[in-house]
Structure 1
Amino acid sequence: MGRDLTALFDPGSVAVVGASDDPAKYGHAVASQALRADGRRPVHLVNRRGGTVLGRPAAPSLAAIGEPVELVVISVPGDGFEAAVEDALACGAKAIVGITAGFAEAGPAGLARQRAVVARVQEAGAVLVGPNCLGIADNTTELYLASDRFAPGGVALLSQSGNLALELQLRGAPHGLGFSRFVSLGNQADVTLVDLVEDCARHEPTTAIAVYAEDFGDGRAFARAAAAAGKPVVLLTAGRGSASARSAQSHTGALTTSADVVAAACRDAGVELVRTPREMTVVLAAVSARSGPRTQGDRTAVFTDGGGHGAIAADAAEDAGLDVPELGAATQERLRTVLWRQSAVGNPVDLAGMGEQQPLSYADTVAELLAADEVDAVLMTGYFGGYAASDGGLGGGPAGGSVLAEGETRAAEKIVTHLAATPKPLVVQSMYPQSPSCRVLSEAGIPVFAATEDAARALSAMTGRAAGGAPAVLAVPALPAAAGPLRDAGYHGVRGLLGAAGVPFPAAREITDEAGLLAAAAEFDGPYVLKALHLLHKSDAGGVALRLADRDALLAAYRDMHARLGAPAYSVEAMADLSDGIELIVGVNRDPRFGPVAMVGLGGVLTETLRDVAFALAPVPARRAEELLRGLRTAALLAGVRGRPTVDVAAAAAVIERITAVAAAHPEIAELEVNPLLVRPGGALALDARAVLG
């Protein structure tokens, strides 16, 4: 159900402690905003000197108000915060907004103070936003407790940065974006990002949730809340490029960065991950659009009135993960019935000047594209809007404008009608996005952008695909429980753990001397593999010998390897048939915020050189594992090239599910890796494994 935050967003009464007439103080800004809704609920101003603030009587303390107060905003110097919290709880506060700084962000002593305050608030049955935050606002309940106004609308903005929130407001205005709520996250000492996402998901006036976060707290819980929200969640975060484990002891740990982890969590949860405030605005404009449903299909028709715009838009669409296929013969034939001879109908579809002669050709073409079963979405790009801009004095278009402008506006109206009849994602890029005809589109909920790349990114959000083309799975896996912790993290201990879970390995025996080696060789036929154990990267150290034909070759390899390396133990194994196989890597790295994160990709000795890997939250279901494998850059190898046979990807995916489930069930394992996992036409076989305990 989630926490009840009613007292935070729709309190019966409000008090601002630290209200001030001094414009340089935050208490002045918050008090000024709070008074905007004085008629909605009682608003009390508290200043220790009493007197008046902003022309109103100010109480010297909360107790002096003489009645209970449900929500208290505290903006006082740090050394007075705890006393203010006690006063708030004493007067019946059920919610506190702590603007005061100097707590966890200030070091261990501040963290200890913060924990004590939170314990006191929770003991009293109240909730705390902050401390070290910039306030909250809820336009739907006329609650204004932040320093700035936010235009009303459907976006709930949860941000760790006040300035970024203001920038998003400025960027969103031209697209008609407004905000249902704003919450400055602060230190998330009590009310967390997860609590707020869950509450905004239940908040009916909120149609999309925008998040700027530097600290996720429980990242997996955030992903789970976002996946369950039932409405779009758009995330902007910082620090995605730093390595999450610089001292990693496996390929998986070395290759996994914070950026990979966040991107994997967002893909699995269906969160739109963006890189800049501009991109966040673009995506919010798209997912908040009223122009039609989102779709998982990515087959995009690019429609233009100029060849250059069409070519650029097609490239931008593909860069955003969309597919721009050539249209089929039947669709092309239908297009020819509404276009003239010189028009291009393959995709991009180009009016080739027809728009100036017949402005309604824009609407006719859009109608045909929307009606085509092979088209999932339409990107219209180019000059549309210029004719009305010329007539409206916006500096565009050829002469003769009023007739063309009128025709273009009628075309815009017809496009709106066609879209209502055949709802599919439609985004427009225009050289004149503010023209009257483009405003007809935008007022009907069709996103209109000035930049081609923005239009393409918006369309990728409306089709449910992130840049890069991975579909939103909307599944954050639960963590399974293991019967007990892994006690033996050695090579054969890890093999045993995975083998018990159904991961297939070649026959193998651990040995420490020549007698043991010969006894092992007698248990199964060659050819053999010899591995030196307890080495970080066995192949790099010369600790792996392959294709040892018989016991004599095995014994010779052992004597050479032991003389060079002096390893305490070795593994004698049956040599797998590598002739028709592809080597994969499967690893799981435990992230401190998001828990176990899986990596799959091309394996063997070239893993770190090629870096052709993909990530997902672990455990990874077989269906998802197969998607990851088929999305690799080198996926063509799995289907067979240059006469090689197709390998059993489904078998590899099933093994990946088992490996990642084992890692996810054992919190004591920091890194688990199978490299290589050999996948052949007849199945998959793990050839090496290692684990690192946390």
Structure 2
Amino acid sequence: MTVLTTEAQARDLTALFAPRAVAVVGASNDQAKYGNWLSVQALRMQGRRAVYLVSRRGEPVLGEPTYRTLAELPEPVDLVVIAVPAAGFEQAVEDALAAGARAIVGITAGFGELGAEGRAREAALAERVRAAGAVLLGPNCLGVLDSTTGLYLASNPLPAGTVGLISQSGNVALELSRFLTDRGLGFSRFASLGNQADLGAADLIRSYTGDPGTELIALYCEDFGDGRAFVAAAADAVAAGKPVVLLTVGGSAASVRGAKSHTGALTTDSSVIDAACRAAGIDRVTSPRQMADLLTALHRFGHARVDRVAVLSDGGGHAAVACDLTEAQGLSVPEFGPELAAALRASLPPSAGVGNPVDIAGAGEQDIASFARTLRLLLAAPDTDAVLLTGYFGGYAQYGERLAGAELATAREMGELVRDHGKPVAVHTMCPDGAAVEELRRQGVPVFAAVEDAAQCLGMLARRTGPGPGERPGRPVAPDSRPVTDDGYWTARELVRAAGVAFPAARQVTTPDDAAEAAREIGGGPYVVKALGLLHKSDAGGVALGLADPGAVRAAAQDMADRLAPPGFCVEAMADLSRGVEIIVGVRRDARFGPVAMVGLGGITTEVLRDVTFALAPLVPAQAKELLQRLGAARLLHGVRGRPAVDLDALAEAVAAIATLAAEHPEIAELEVNPLLATPDGCLGLDARIVLAD
């Protein structure tokens, strides 16, 4: 169970990452146990801080003396790592607090298998730790590391660097470390999240944000705990100039199988996480290798603009493939202007292509320095944002010692050019193990063994976004003190209308005769009759459209009464759909991230086209407009084929009002307006539904 945190509750983690003295409880000579692995790493710190090994047997471990209990230690310890069986974990925590510990790392596993009982025990333990003014990492974690303070209390050694890693998976952390090592990067800090009984991802992100040794934050997380605290912490890190790169799992509809509205059915774990990432400016990736690639590019190029890419190759096939892959990433490969083309032509053989892509046409063997000369021209061009180099560079050394030396010197010059210009360069090579390639890597140039990975790296840099417009997205609002009680469509309609969204004139009635009278009161037709008390009225035959007069209204209501026996009816004036665009606006309350707003094409097309976008609610109109503009069919809102543009400002205000309404009422699990008719003159809600939380 994760203890919720807020922006005001930044925890002091000095004892976790820079302790004066540490103790390993459960130290062991058994090389199959964590207590042994941690002891090996802990002893690396001798001479830098006091290290104590605690074993109930009292026998030497790894040739070092041990203590039977923490109470026997000659001095208080700041940090205690516990690697004992689950049955003794709680007592070990109490002993650690009594020994003066202000930070505890729980390696012990086994609580998750106990279900609700295990979660309750973890929660009680976390409360005890907090009451003592301490922090608990885990349990069921793999340890902690800080290369700047020389703290080594993880099961495996990790390379030093400037990436702060937070991970719920030990294997993911180890795989990422190998990828980063290959790219010349490493870790400033590593913390294994475990069960997050006390410290969660948000707490660690905040600590990393304030750590001068951390430049980038990498996170593998399966459970975000308090999702809003996570978003706030990540947004602060991004604002402080420390990008956050997230690898997570999701995309399954399993968590929303019980959804009762279109909004719930269309919302997946992955779409919610994407909305959270946009809110905080987090970069989301899909694999450890992709994470390593993006971290490398961010380390080298930061926030550089990427849009117009120059492709440089020593073969026509690779050049063509690279162009296709680059444009598939949403980037452009524009034709060069006459000035750049002329400069390239003067520098390369007559057979070279100089229009973009640049194909040096066999010049590599004859003049390996042409790679550096060409790269210099491309990086200096004001219309070039980035360069993708693809082909055989790195393999020319195989043709002899002279060419090997020239290739290495060319790589050195290319690395200096990349450093001096600061524009992103991604290199794909068929020969990734050559000395010239190692030189490029040494200078921080991202190198890839597959051209699609090089193109994807540039695409990820291009797609990086900060928090949306207006106020920080997803900032919570005060709950409305008037709880919503679900009486069906009429309640939903009137609640949304009171929030500022217009609806057609309507009457709520109980009998077919009253329905006919309501039509007369509303005025000229056509009319709509809706059966009340049904969640999916259309599917049940509870909606009748285009009714010409009160008699037709009465007949439709009588038919519904005979078939469905509803508690009542809503009689509405029918809106003119000919000049509008139907939009769906919904909000679903996620267990971790709270209310999540969705907009998309509405009406009967919603679940067919699935053209939807998501954001954390509440929203301000500027955020709602940005959400609408991300729709694949956004052009419809601006007018196409003679149809007028809708009032986008009015539509954005309506979307923001609906999202904020749902955010104000925690008792609402799902709220949906579908369709919301956007016209040149404003907006009309034509249907609404509410699902209350259990």
TM-score, length-scaled by structure 1: 0.92
Counterpart residue identity of residue 499, structure 2:
A
Counterpart residue identity of residue 255, structure 1:
L
Moved more, 414-423 or 533-542: 414-423
Spell out, residue by residue over 1:12-63, the C-alpha distance to the aligned partner (whole angstroms, 9 max, x if none).
Answer: 1011111112212211111111000100011011112223221121112111
Moved more, 235-244 or 214-223: 235-244
Counterpart residue identity of residue 95, structure 2:
D
Partner of 1:146: 154
Spell out, residue by residue over 1:463-482, the C-alpha distance to the aligned partner (whole angstroms, 9 max, x if none).
Answer: 343xxxx7764944202224
Contact 1:130 1:188 in 2 (8 A): yes
C-alpha spacing 1:246/1:41, structure 2 compared with 1 (3 Å): same
1:479 aligns with 2:462: no
Counterpart residue identity of residue 83, structure 2:
S
Moved more, 607-616 or 642-651: 642-651
1:593 aligns with 2:617: no
Spell out, residue by residue over 1:254-308, the C-alpha distance to the aligned partner (whole angstroms, 9 max, x if none).
Answer: 111111111221222222222222222222222222xx33235433333322222
C-alpha spacing 1:143/1:208, structure 2 compared with 1 (3 Å): same
1:349 aligns with 2:346: no
Structure 2: gaps spanning 5 or more residues: 1-7
Among candidates 270, 279, 282, match of residue 271 of structure 1: 282
1:368 aligns with 2:377: yes
Among candidates 229, 252, 255, match of residue 244 of structure 1: 255
**SS of residue paired to 1:365:** helix
Q: How far is 1:520 from its partner?
A: 4.4
After the TM superposition, which residues 384-403 of structure 1 pair with which residues of structure 2 at under 5 Å, given as runs? 384-388=393-397, 390=398, 399=399, 401-403=400-402
State the distance in 1 between where 2:535 and 2:618 align: 25
After the TM superposition, which residues 519-598 of structure 1 pair with which residues of structure 2 at under 5 Å, given as runs? 519-598=518-597
Moved more, 80-89 or 360-369: 360-369
**Aligned-pair Cα RMSD in Å:** 2.4
Partner of 2:660: 661
C-alpha spacing 1:105/1:205, structure 2 compared with 1 (3 Å): farther
Contact 1:639 1:647 in 2 (8 A): yes
C-alpha spacing 1:673/1:375, structure 2 compared with 1 (3 Å): farther
C-alpha spacing 1:531/1:126, structure 2 compared with 1 (3 Å): same
State the distance in 1 between where 2:539 and 2:355 align: 52
Moved more, 590-599 or 431-440: 431-440
Counterpart residue identity of residue 137, structure 1:
L
State the distance in 2 between where 1:344 and 1:625 align: 46
Partner of 2:194: 186
C-alpha spacing 1:663/1:347, structure 2 compared with 1 (3 Å): farther
Q: How far is 1:495 from its partner?
A: 2.2
Q: How far is 1:453 from its partner?
A: 2.2
State the distance in 1 between where 2:404 and 2:217 align: 38
State the distance in 2 between where 1:189 and 1:240 align: 26
After the TM superposition, which residues 57-206 of structure 1 pair with which residues of structure 2 at under 5 Å, given as runs? 57-206=65-214
Partner of 1:507: 505
State the distance in 2 between where 1:500 and 1:368 align: 62
State the distance in 1 between where 2:406 and 2:645 align: 56
State the distance in 2 between where 1:540 and 1:201 align: 51
Q: How far is 1:404 from its partner?
A: 4.3
**SS of residue paired to 1:498:** helix
Contact 1:155 1:207 in 2 (8 A): yes
C-alpha spacing 1:676/1:332, structure 2 compared with 1 (3 Å): farther
State the distance in 1 between where 2:306 and 2:339 align: 20
Counterpart residue identity of residue 292, structure 2:
T
State the distance in 2 between where 1:610 and 1:626 align: 20
**SS of residue paired to 1:73:** strand
After the TM superposition, which residues 605-620 of structure 1 pair with which residues of structure 2 at under 5 Å, given as runs? 605-620=604-619
**SS of residue paired to 2:255:** coil
Structure 1: gaps spanning 5 or more residues: 391-398
State the distance in 1 between where 2:642 and 2:102 align: 71
Partner of 1:281: 292
Counterpart residue identity of residue 496, structure 2:
L
After the TM superposition, which residues 365-514 of structure 1 pair with which residues of structure 2 at under 5 Å, given as runs? 365-388=374-397, 390=398, 399=399, 401-465=400-464, 473=468, 475-489=472-486, 490-513=488-511, 514=513
**SS of residue paired to 2:541:** coil
State the distance in 1 between where 2:678 and 2:332 align: 29
Contact 1:464 1:472 in 2 (8 A): no
Moved more, 220-229 or 359-368: 359-368
**SS of residue paired to 1:614:** strand
Among candidates 295, 309, 312, match of residue 300 of structure 1: 309
Contact 2:250 2:268 in 1 (8 A): no
C-alpha spacing 1:571/1:364, structure 2 compared with 1 (3 Å): farther
**SS of residue paired to 1:56:** coil
Partner of 1:393: none
Contact 1:227 1:476 in 2 (8 A): no
C-alpha spacing 1:417/1:169, structure 2 compared with 1 (3 Å): closer
Contact 2:647 2:678 in 1 (8 A): yes
Moved more, 562-571 or 66-75: 562-571
C-alpha spacing 1:243/1:517, structure 2 compared with 1 (3 Å): farther
Identity score, percent = 56
**SS of residue paired to 2:39:** helix
Contact 1:306 1:353 in 2 (8 A): yes
State the distance in 2 between where 1:305 and 1:633 align: 38
Partner of 1:309: 318
